[in-house]
Amino acid sequence: MPPVSLAALPVYNEAAHVDEVLDNVLQHCQDVLVVDDGSTDGTAQRLASRSDIRVKTHVTNRGYGAALLTAFDYAIDHDFDVVVTIDCDGQHEPERIPELVSALHAHQADILSGSRYLEIENDSSHPPEDRRQINVDVTERLNDALQLRLTDAFCGFKAYRTAALRRLSLTEPGYAMPLELWVQAVRAGMRIIEHPVPLIYLDEERSFGGSLDDADLRMSYYLEVLDRALATTPAG
């Protein structure tokens, strides 16, 4: 029997794109959850007008990591076998959702992480240079600290076995939550694989919000979270 999968989208102020993205996601996954992280631009009204998705709402903006944690809790509470996270900014191709779920199952992995740099078939799309360099530097630190061979530490297009998520104790609410996740997953002995996904950047000026738009401050924040996770996460 194939695994029962949930596609989960963390969303913040995506009124202009959310309907088109959801229409595409629904073609490839029957069960879809949107976590509206305190949107103020009409996104909530767009979501409320639909009857073909599930919605969890944060009254105020709590952060990208917090939205993912809400999605994880929902998948666990509703007994889904797999949860696929996909962003709502056009960087990910919903038609690849079944491919990620199938690869997760075929490799008997706990976490399958999309990588935009594992096999670059089309180099016409380029991330902003500061974002690419931060990803390279943080990925290298992760690999050195955890004996991993990742190529993309921050891709939001991932498939998780829900049983594996039950073993994590994630708390970081911001964009650095994946770093906490990598540390806990490795220390728990989980099987992690990467899977190539296209490199697509439609909005190079997209904001992280507040001080994180400054590359140096963003890097400092990532390293602070990574160092804390490494120091506080026990092995086994």
With beta carbons less than 8 A apart as the criterion, state whether 183 and 230 touch.
yes
pTM for this predicted structure: 0.90
Q: What is the pLDDT of residue 201?
A: 54
Write the CA distances from 53 to 25, 67, 84, 95, integer angstroms: 10, 16, 15, 17
pLDDT tens string, the chain, 236 residues long: the values are: 677 999 999 999 999 889 999 999 999 999 999 999 999 999 999 999 999 999 999 999 999 999 999 999 999 999 999 999 999 887 889 999 999 999 999 999 999 999 988 875 554 555 567 778 888 999 999 999 999 999 999 999 999 999 999 999 999 999 999 999 999 999 999 999 999 998 765 554 555 565 567 788 989 999 999 999 999 998 86
- Report the CATH superfamily, name and number, of domain 5-232: Spore Coat Polysaccharide Biosynthesis Protein SpsA; Chain A (3.90.550.10)
Residue 21 to residue 51: CA distance in whole angstroms: 15
Angle between helices 129-146 and 215-232 (to 10 degrees): 20
Write the CA distances from 138 to 145, 154, 226, integer angstroms: 11, 9, 9
Residue 209: CB atoms within 10 A of its CB come to 14
Long-range residue pairs from 129-133, CB within 8 A, at least 24 positions apart, any chain: 130/215, 131/215
List, in sequence order, every residue forming a beta bridge with 11; answer none if it has no partner: 36
Instruction: Please state whether beta strands 111-115 and 192-196 pair in parallel, antiparallel, or not at all (unpaired).
Output: parallel
With beta carbons less than 8 A apart as the criterion, state whether 10 and 64 touch.
yes
Write the CA distances from 105 to 3, 14, 116, 126, integer angstroms: 8, 31, 21, 31
Signed CA dihedral, 205, 95, 186, 63: sign only:
positive
**Which residue from 33, 87, 34, 39 is spatially nearest to 60, judged by alpha carbons?**
39
**Which residue from 100, 103, 102, 107 is spatially nearest to 86, judged by alpha carbons?**
100
With beta carbons less than 8 A apart as the criterion, state whether 7 and 21 touch.
no
Q: What is the pLDDT of residue 211?
A: 59
Q: What is the pLDDT of residue 1?
A: 65
Placement of tokens 């706990």 in the chain = 110
Q: Which amino acid is at 53?
A: I
Residue 173 to residue 67: CA distance in whole angstroms: 8
Q: What is the pLDDT of residue 125?
A: 54
Q: What is the pLDDT of residue 26?
A: 97
CA 186 to chain centre: 17
Domain boundaries, the chain: 5-232
**Which residue from 86, 83, 97 is spatially nearest to 163, judged by alpha carbons?**
83
